[in-house]
Structure 1
């Protein structure tokens, strides 16, 4: 993800002002002045500052506001990160008119994206907004079709929640039904992510939708289902596993995990192996994940599931897997020295753990 400085900075604002000036937007005093005020601000604060400057400089009447932005769309330089605060300004200026504002967002979305700007309309006018969004599922531009799926996601990243769709996602399901076999992978990935969002709060609904799609598939449907059910698979949801062909009661023998690095310094890698054997009388398919039980600050452990691989084994066949897991520091997780555990999970069923010690980060010698 780019940093705030890389997305919205003084030069971005100046480029946006030049595009709007060519669209006859006037002097744009607030917009041109706000570029110097962005340094040190978080990304969301920058979006808000630019949005508010646009709202001050552009006409209050939506028709005139719309005319200027549509004129700017004729300019090929009106694109990229500068579009984000523009779409947020549309969400404010057009919240009372709904349909014309949504159509403007659909026309803006190929220049970057507009999914976060659709959210206020879903909160205040769900029925009217969904009617427009459903029409987007037939749009010739894949960016607009993706907007239909992405804007209605219950857990859209970096966006405010729409409580009604979190509580009851079924009004948006017809949108997914129309798009799960879309000819664009860009669109289908959004559909899979949307289904995965649903699965967090309504797992049985997600499985029921996926099962219905499995009855009318095309060659890409399997990938959509795997993306859409990935969280449920990690949680061992039997319905999701069986739909994907991984029955939890499949006979299996697991040896390991055998930890090759019993002590791992923060910044290094854990290495382990396991062997999967099919003890049954016939062919069997296995989905193998691994869990790391991370030590928390309070001494408890939190579990995170990671993907390993899948394979079909003949009766009596063995499959040995070797994996390295990084403990290089990342912004989304803090590591605490002490006893951690690693565990193998097969078709959603956890198996015994092995422990290892995580030690304080080592310092590299100079020149190494």
Structure 2
């Protein structure tokens, strides 16, 4: 069984933090910090653990915010362009930095310039994407000016923070309702970053645009119309990833931008086996047969939607990526994919009939399904 996410923050990391904080500030009350941070830590989930350790920091760092930031910055490991989530031996890096950014976000609202400078350092050792968001809400002018400068920062981690920290619907983060309603403040930033030399940054831009597509599809299809013609391979990959929600929804503008707007000329058959499946078992096999009646090749995006049974009846559809292919004139092609049926933190399964739709270029071309039983008594 995989290690629970919550254990990314644990007592060993608390003690490591105590060591490096005391190294940075000899007067640091390490024993009190560790007692506060470790007390009750095992009972909490990951995000609550970050807040719990953050409160222990606030109780033991200098009362002066500038001095407190100085201690935190001095405790950090040297910045690296490598994976920021890895712990280091010569200073703090990785998941233990999350509580530090949380402290800065809460205590720094009355000192926003100093706080943003601290986040600039911390994001290079993990990420400050969650901590940045309260500053967008409470200090928009300062924060947008700062993000404009950070677009050309030497660190890819800082440039990524510009995009990731301002995503309207960032997972685990404070929802930025003003940007959900009107994402225009972020668009100049995304335009500057979409051709960034770092794939790490470009992938964040793609996810940001995909967030926007959920609420403003026309804005993103317009973006595709402007930025896809003549795009480099790297930009095309970014824009393709940014289009994924629109393509799953069968958005006509997005499909047309990628040459996928036409319906399948031919017919499709969908088979799901076994007809009776058990949660936690071997899953089901999705088998789609496509038959072309066209005189030329067809570019196809083939996905499938599973209609998950809800607790109170009814169902809600979730689209899963399938295949991207070119079907030759008169060709018959069989596509197969194993679909897992296991408990995950973001989805709760319920017993019953699960319809499966086959989507070809966003249009339902066939359907089948399976009956799901829950394991155990």
TM-score by length of 1: 0.91
CA distance in 2: counterparts of 1:336 and 1:58, whole angstroms = 48
Q: Partner residue of 2:11?
A: 10
Alpha-carbon shift at residue 216 of structure 1 (Å)? 5.3
CA distance in 2: counterparts of 1:316 and 1:285, whole angstroms = 14
Q: Partner residue of 1:52?
A: 55
Contact 1:11 1:35 in 2 (8 A): no
CA distance in 2: counterparts of 1:354 and 1:70, whole angstroms = 57
Mapping of 1:89-128 within 5 angstroms?
Answer: 89-128=103-142
Which residue, out of 349, 359, 362, partners 2:373?
A: 359
Q: Partner residue of 1:255?
A: 268
Q: Secondary structure at the match of 2:294?
A: coil
Q: Partner residue of 2:278?
A: 265
Alpha-carbon shift at residue 65 of structure 1 (Å)? 2.1
- Structure 1 pair 59–210 and aligned structure 2 pair: CA distance change class (3 A): farther
Aligned length: 362
CA distance in 2: counterparts of 1:15 and 1:345, whole angstroms = 51
TM-score by length of 2: 0.89
- Structure 1 pair 96–297 and aligned structure 2 pair: CA distance change class (3 A): closer
Alpha-carbon shift at residue 251 of structure 1 (Å)? 3.9
Q: Deviations over 1:238-294 (max 9, x none)?
A: 1111112211x3342232102342222332322232222332232220000011122
CA distance in 2: counterparts of 1:132 and 1:290, whole angstroms = 42
Q: Secondary structure at the match of 1:280?
A: coil
- Structure 1 pair 338–8 and aligned structure 2 pair: CA distance change class (3 A): closer
Alpha-carbon shift at residue 10 of structure 1 (Å)? 2.1
Contact 1:99 1:132 in 2 (8 A): no
CA distance in 1: counterparts of 2:213 and 2:105, whole angstroms = 28
Contact 1:17 1:32 in 2 (8 A): yes
Q: Deviations over 1:46-84 (max 9, x none)?
A: 222221221222223233223222322366321122211
CA distance in 2: counterparts of 1:194 and 1:336, whole angstroms = 32
Contact 1:340 1:358 in 2 (8 A): yes
Q: Secondary structure at the match of 1:95?
A: helix
- Extract unaligned runs of 5+ from structure 1: 364-368
CA distance in 2: counterparts of 1:200 and 1:122, whole angstroms = 21
Q: Partner residue of 2:348?
A: 334
Q: Secondary structure at the match of 2:233?
A: coil
Q: Deviations over 1:21-57 (max 9, x none)?
A: 1111523254222133112122232222221221222
Q: Which moved more, 1:83-92 or 1:43-52?
A: 43-52
CA distance in 2: counterparts of 1:25 and 1:239, whole angstroms = 61
Q: Secondary structure at the match of 1:153?
A: coil
CA distance in 1: counterparts of 2:32 and 2:48, whole angstroms = 16
Q: Secondary structure at the match of 1:220?
A: helix
Q: Which moved more, 1:120-129 or 1:100-109?
A: 100-109
CA distance in 2: counterparts of 1:161 and 1:342, whole angstroms = 32
CA-atom RMSD, angstroms?
2.1
Mapping of 1:258-297 within 5 angstroms?
Answer: 258-266=271-279, 267-297=281-311
Alpha-carbon shift at residue 86 of structure 1 (Å)? 0.7
CA distance in 2: counterparts of 1:73 and 1:327, whole angstroms = 42
Q: Secondary structure at the match of 1:166?
A: helix
Q: Which moved more, 1:80-89 or 1:332-341?
A: 332-341
CA distance in 2: counterparts of 1:4 and 1:320, whole angstroms = 38
Q: Partner residue of 2:66?
A: 63
- Structure 1 pair 88–216 and aligned structure 2 pair: CA distance change class (3 A): farther
- Structure 1 pair 232–39 and aligned structure 2 pair: CA distance change class (3 A): same
CA distance in 2: counterparts of 1:297 and 1:74, whole angstroms = 47
CA distance in 2: counterparts of 1:145 and 1:62, whole angstroms = 25
CA distance in 2: counterparts of 1:360 and 1:74, whole angstroms = 47
- Extract unaligned runs of 5+ from structure 2: 79-89
